[in-house]
Chains A and B, each alone.
Chain A
């Protein structure tokens, strides 16, 4: 079966999974939750198979490389990483609540990758600068970091939503009553940011090592490098305000949103600035 076909099905499956998670939240029946989780897992497995197929196809074309080399491939991997990290959290915490805000982001990434007119889904050969063993480690660690920050963003959104509701009414109304406790969300925000921070650190470092071999300098102040450092600093500020100044709750949720905006700019916005990381330009 063709990997492109599988990926378009996976896009649909993620959307269906999101709808079921939403149904579970509104109706409150665990059946919908189980169905949603099942779909998410099925989507993840199918997507893994599609990625492996794409990898194999590239070898059949004689230009074999890991499917992490252009904007399309990175977007697909981003979605894959988001679902993977979310499902691990679901499995560890037994809570399905953040899915409503996280799964649709994976769906949007998949949909954007296939629909956007300026993104080519062709398997392209690797230009000399990308022919390196560091490609895989660099891209994988960065996108695992991005995915963890996406989860933090989802939790931050729920936190703010619930927090607002709490201010409005004495008793939590229907929707927000079903949301997880603020303290749980706060812990989840912190944990996913800590995880993302480690991945981003390793991602920046592997990128740095790669740049040392490819461009001759471990740091060139390329806009993407600088923005990854900005993102890193934002999350570093966040962790310090939590550890040392005891910031919790609303402030952390807002910072999680700001951090995610930085992640998005590092990933996509930077492509509109001139620089060395032009592989992702559409």
Chain B
């Protein structure tokens, strides 16, 4: 057992160290919540003095939760936990495996009279009564024959000896889950305009980007408000496209993430895109054609005319003439550009010759199509947060174990009972004693109950 005499080992196996580390972690957390965030500190420290700034950056004081100081403390705590556990395991195992006979020394000394029952019956009659009573109440019992009678043993909650171990193991499991998450996990943000398809995301930490194996299209973003003006719903209708095919469509809401290809998507923010969107409708030779939402830079197909359209510009109010869209239509025969005005009728009414003077103002330059603007809208972009964290299941397992362990630690105890039946002259004496690893009050209550019931059983 030279290992236990090792001074480093004994250093790590002390509970004093645990408490010291925990106090240090608490102090670090307190500092962490009061030190302002990184960017603020950096500007401030740079203005103050470059040396202070260097110190701040070296110790990552503005991000203590990811500082080497915190990692060192967590490593120490983990080592301390592991070594404390290993150190105490042999004694615990011994306690777990201790044979029930002989009873702990002195257990039956100074036993109060209330714990000794005397009876006049024969020992051969009393023994089965006590035996069956214990069996009915505690299940398994052990028994030996002694010189003057019999000796029974029974127990309850032996596994609760390991409750503390379960709690400590759960902490290690959670730390492991957090480490796995921080090494192999990934967090990124994407802003997608309505109608746009995106396959790269900006990593949350640092300035890197993450190429995705699939792309995400925001079909629609909706924000609803309550009567009092506070937000009610943020909702993004998304399509996930892989290998050129939409593989999944779904509505993403706050509190309802979507999962695709090992990434979880969260509705994190939204905003109004700088460009506006025009809802353009068209007729084909006077008959109703279609309606498309267009923003500058969009392309669209006109299958009826074997043509492809490009949106050159979308204007909310051009030269006081209202909303307008500039389109370019390319077909095998033609390549033409023209403007579509929402208020074309009024423009013509004010300048009757406008279409001859400026043919580009004619929305019917690509016959038989005639375009018009139904309305212009502001377009939204949705801000998605995406996460891949392979450590989550371990952390969840740790959480479950911790609650289970705490219930064992706080609500259960290892209770042992010894019952001795002895022939003392003409009388039989039954003495009952017990031991518990915690909650002695409960044990004493149970022994009192045992005495009472056995007494009743014998008299009956």
Q: Hey, which bits of chain A sit against chain B, CB under 8 A?
A: 63, 124-125, 127-129, 131-132, 194-195, 197-198, 201-202, 205, 208-209, 212-219, 221, 223, 226-227, 229-230, 233-234, 236-237, 240-241, 244-245, 270, 273-274
Q: Decide yes or no: A198 and B406 within 8 Å by CB, A213-B256, A237-B19 being known contacts.
A: yes
Complexed CA–CA distance, A270 and B33 (Å): 9
B413–chain A nearest beta-carbon distance, Å:
13
Stretch at the interface among B22-30, B107-115, B423-431, B448-456: B22-30
In chain A, what residue has the closest Cβ to B65?
A221
Do the beta carbons of B399 and A229 come within 8 Å of each other? Answer: no
Chain A minimum-CB-distance residue to B410: A194
User: What is the bound-complex CA distance between A274 and B32, given in angstroms?
Assistant: 12
Q: Give the chain B neighbours of A241 by CB distance below 8 A.
A: 19
Q: Is B15 an interface residue (CB 8 A)?
A: yes
- Asked whether A217 lies within 8 Å of B187 as measured between CB atoms, the reply is yes
B264, A216: Cβ atoms closer than 8 Å: yes
Residues of B within 8 A of A233 (CB): 22, 25-26, 29
Complex Cα–Cα for A205 and B234 (A): 26
Within 8 A of A (CB), among B202-257: 226, 228, 230-234, 253-257
Tell whether, in the assembled complex, residue A125 and residue B228 are in contact, meaning their CB atoms are under 8 Å apart: yes
A127 near B230 (CB under 8 angstroms)? Answer: yes
In the complex, A214→B187 CA distance in Å? 14
Asked whether, in the complex, the Cβ of B395 is within 8 Å of the Cβ of A214, the reply is no
User: A241-B19, A273-B33 given as contacts; is B230 within 8 A of A216 (CB)?
Assistant: no
**In the bound complex, CA of A62 to CA of B65 (Å):** 42
Contact B26 A216 (CB under 8 A): no
- A–B complex contacts, Cβ < 8 Å, 21 sampled: A125-B226, A128-B232, A128-B234, A128-B253, A128-B255, A129-B254, A198-B406, A198-B407, A205-B403, A213-B255, A213-B257, A214-B254, A215-B385, A216-B187, A216-B266, A226-B65, A233-B29, A236-B22, A237-B22, A270-B33, A274-B37
B27 nearest CB across to chain A (Å):
9
Interface presence of B402 (CB below 8 A): yes
Distance A213 CA – B32 CA, assembled complex (angstroms): 25
Assuming the contacts A213-B256, A217-B187, A218-B395, asked whether A127 and B231 have C-beta atoms less than 8 A apart, the reply is yes
**Would you give the shortest CB distance from B296 to chain A, in whole angstroms?**
31
Instruction: Provide the residues of chain A in CB contact with B312, threshold 8 Å.
Output: none
* A205/B15 in contact, CB under 8 A: no
Complex Cα spacing A229 to B22, Å: 11
How many residues of B are in contact with the other chain, CB < 8 A? 46
Min distance, Cβ B270 to any Cβ of chain A, angstroms = 11
Contacting residues, chain A, for B389 (C-beta < 8 A) = 217
For B65, list chain A residues within 8 Å (CB).
221, 226
Is there contact, CB below 8 Å, between B387 and A216? yes
The 4 A-B pairs of least Cβ separation, nearest first, read A128-B254, A216-B266, A125-B226, A244-B15
For window 375-423 of chain B, which residues contact chain A by CB distance below 8 Å? 385-387, 389, 392, 395-396, 399, 402-403, 406-407, 410
Query: In the complex, how many angstroms separate the beta carbon of A279 from the nearest chain B beta carbon?
Result: 11
Residues of A within 8 A of B403 (CB): 198, 201-202, 205
Closest to A129 in B: B254
User: In the docked arrangement, what's the CA distance between A237 and B29, Å?
Assistant: 15
Q: Nearest-CB distance from A223 to chain B (Å)?
A: 5
Contact A245 B26 (CB under 8 A): no
B268 sits at the interface (CB 8 A): yes
Distance between Cα atoms of A195 and B410 in the complex (Å): 8
Q: Is the CB of B385 within 8 A of A237?
A: no
Closest to A132 in B: B255
Are A128 and B233 closer than 8 Å at their CB atoms? yes
Is A230 within 8 A of B30, CB to CB? yes
CA distance A125 to B229 in the complex (A): 10
Inside 8 A of B410's CB, which chain A residues have their CB? 194-195, 197-198
Does chain A have a CB within 8 A of B18?
A: yes
Contact at B399–A205, with CB atoms within 8 Å?
A: yes
Closest chain-B Cβ to A102's Cβ sits at a distance in Å of 21
Give 11 A-B pairs besides A128-B231, A216-B264, A223-B33 with Cβ atoms closer than 8 angstroms.
A124-B230, A125-B232, A131-B254, A198-B406, A201-B406, A215-B266, A216-B187, A216-B385, A218-B395, A233-B26, A237-B26
Shortest CB–CB separation between residue B171 and chain A, in angstroms? 10
Q: Determine which of B19, B33, B268, B402 lies in contact with A227 in the assembled complex, contact meaning CB atoms within 8 Å.
A: B33
Contacts of A195 in B (CB 8 A): 410
Mark interface residues in B4-25 (1 if CB within 8 Å of A CB, else 0): 0000000000011011001101
Contacts of B256 in A (CB 8 A): 213
Q: Which residues of A contact B386 (CB under 8 A)?
A: 216
Contact (Cβ within 8 A) B399 A208: yes
State the Cβ distance, A225 to closest chain B Cβ, in Å: 10
Q: Is the CB of B33 within 8 A of A218?
A: no
Partner of A129, one of B33, B255, B264, B399: B255
Complexed CA–CA distance, A60 and B32 (Å): 44
- Of the candidates A201, A215, A244, the one whose C-beta lies within 8 Å of that of B402 is A201
How far apart sit A124 and B226, CA to CA, in the bound complex (Å)? 10
Q: Is the CB of B255 within 8 A of A214?
A: yes
- The answer to whether A230 touches B26, judged by C-beta atoms less than 8 angstroms apart, is yes
- Report the bound CA distance from A195 to B411 in whole Å: 10
Task: Pick from A216, A221, A236, A240: contact of B257, CB below 8 A.
Answer: A216
**Smallest CB gap from A222: residue in B:** B33
Taken together as a complex, chains A and B put the C-alpha atoms of A201 and B25 apart, in Å, by 18
Q: What A residues does B233 contact at CB under 8 A?
A: 128
